[in-house]
Chain A
Amino acid sequence: TQLLEQSPQFLSIQEGENLTVYCNSSSVFSSLQWYRQEPGEGPVLLVTVVTGGEVKKLKRLTFQFGDARKDSSLHITAAQPGDTGLYLCAGDRGTSYGKLTFGQGTILTVHP
C-alpha cells in the first residue's frame, strides 16, 4: 500500500517556469524530508519539515508542511536546467527505527 502519493510523476518545463510538486497521505508524519537525486547518485537532502503549517525556503525552493502533517508541497520559482533531477518526498511516521515512507518520485526536466 502506497501511503504517500506524490504528483506529478513527470514534469517537463522550460527554463524560467514555476512548478509545484505535491505529496499527500492519509497518515500523519512526525517529519517529512525532501530529497533531490541525480542519476547514479544518492539522494541529497533539501529540507526536513517537522511542524504543521511550517514553510521553509531554500533559495528558489519553497517547502510547506500541511497543518495536519499529512501533506507537503515543493514549489520551485523560475526553474533552471540545474534543477533537473528526481525529487523524492519521504515521511517518517515516528516509529522507533525511523522507517521512511517514500513518494513515487517526480522526474523533473528543465529545458534551456
Chain B
Amino acid sequence: DTEVTQTPKHLVMGMTNKKSLKCEQHMGHRAMYWYKQKAKKPPELMFVYSYEKLSINESVPSRFSPECPNSSLLNLHLHALQPEDSALYLCASRERGTDTQYFGPGTRLTVL
C-alpha cells in the first residue's frame, strides 16, 4: 500500500479564517512534506519533517504553520491567508531505500 490521504479535498476560506489541512500515511515513512502547487506548474516545497521534527522551512510565511503530531500525521494550520495563497496543497511521504516520494491527492484551497 502506497497511499497518502489528505483532507479536506476542497476548502474555501476567508482571509480572517483559521483552518487546518490534514495528511496521513501508514507506510512507516519517517519523512513527510508539504508542497504548494499552482496550475500547470511543478510543486514547490514548503516544509520537510524528518522523524517528526521540522527539518526544512523554505522561507514560508508564518501564516502557514506545520505540525507533526506523530509519525503518521502531518497538519498544516492556516491563518490570515491571502488570495494569492489559493493553490493545490500536496502532502508527500518518502520511502527509505528508494527515496521515492508518494503524494497525496491534494487539497484545493481557495482564499476569498
Contact = CB atoms under 8 A, between A and B. Distances in A.
Chain B binding surface, main DSSP class: strand
A45 B102 contact: yes
A45 B43 contact: no
Interface string A16-48: 000000000000001101010001111111001
21 contacts: A30-B99, A31-B98, A31-B100, A33-B100, A35-B103, A39-B39, A42-B88, A42-B105, A45-B102, A48-B99, A48-B100, A92-B99, A94-B99, A96-B55, A97-B56, A98-B48, A98-B101, A99-B45, A102-B42, A103-B42, A105-B41
Interface of A: 30-31, 33, 35, 39-45, 48, 50, 86, 88, 90, 92, 94, 96-100, 102-105, 107
Interface of B: 2, 4, 6, 31, 33, 39-43, 45, 48, 50, 55-56, 88, 90, 94, 98-106, 108
